[in-house]
Structure 1
Amino acid sequence: MSEREPSSRLRRLLAIDAAGAALTAAITLGLLASGVVQSGVPSVVWWVLGGVAVGMAAVGALALWRQSPPVPRLRKLAFANLAYTLASLIAVWAFRDTVTFIAAAYVMVEALVLVILASVEWRESSRVG
């Protein structure tokens, strides 16, 4: 295994994380916060979650351009993904009486993807770091 391979793998994970956060932000802000899709959750909750996703996308993108090894940033992003997942699940649970099926399904699928991504990021960062 070459010395560049782990860095390449880590950078690929950072790229996937940044792109996923950007997609999450687009869906959350463009569909849920704006009210295009009725969710049963106050739009302010979606605006906050969407803003956090924008921030996570920016942090992930900036980490790609840094010259230092991305292992510590990858671990922080894995933790941030889990925190975002928890916040999203809490939001759906808090409004469980009014949340729509589509909003709950979206958050559940997103949570599954983020938990898988975070576990891969953590495992990869532990392997090379």
Structure 2
Amino acid sequence: RFNALPKKALVDENRHVVGLEILETYLDANNRLQTKEESVQTLPADSIILALGFEAKRFSFYEELDLAIGRSNTLIVNENKETSHPFIFAGGDVVRGANLVVNAALDGREAAFAIAKKLGALSDPYFTL
């Protein structure tokens, strides 16, 4: 979705992501991002991928999902890029703070490998890295 801002992650009783509430956004006369509060929409989802840019923002769903938060609103991950939630992985600027894009790409590769391993895909003879 374009011109949308995440408002709230929707989770079930087992803390599994089931959707995302978003707000429509627009630029005001001063070119500042504004939200239309009456424009809440719900998107069904079973995963949420954040692409934040240089500055990690603290979203309200971090607390809702009980994610461990470090310095400067970065997410804390283990060596497999797994957060404190067993099915949420993170990398790049949201973990490191402002850094090189090649490091974000490496984090994504490492997270993908860890996710595949967790889901059992590495035992699939057709799965290769």
Structure with more relative contact order (C-alpha pairs < 8 Å, separation 6 or more): 1
TM-score bracket, shorter-length normalisation: under 0.3
More strand by share: 2
Give me the TM-score of the superposition, normalised by structure 1: 0.26
More helix by share: 1
